[in-house]
Amino acid sequence: MAAAGGPNPKTGGRSYMVAVLDKQLGKLRYYDGHQENAYFMAVTTDPKTRGVEFWRFDLRVRIVPDEPGDK
């Protein structure tokens, strides 16, 4: 996962861009812009689902791996 402030290609304005790359498949799984009013302040993990959540006061980005066999 990578996140940084910058220009949003969809709106032409500035936003906080978030990208998630699946390293095993080499695919971009998520790429979108969010309001540029804060940075992520916390990360939580869930060993049961192998999920990861990135938190800020107005936004959560949750990443959970696909089930085996899903493409």
pTM higher than 0.75: no
Tokens of 26: 């080499």
Its domain, for residue 53, covers 2-63
- pLDDT for 68 equals 62
- pLDDT for 44 equals 92
In a domain, 31, yes or no: yes
pLDDT 10s digits, 12-67 = 778 888 888 888 888 898 888 777 777 788 989 999 988 889 888 888 888 888 76
- pLDDT for 33 equals 78
- pLDDT for 69 equals 54
Is-contact 21 27, C-beta < 8 A? yes
In a domain, 71, yes or no: no
Is-contact 15 33, C-beta < 8 A? yes
In a domain, 68, yes or no: no
- pLDDT for 47 equals 92
**Structural domains in the chain (count):** 1
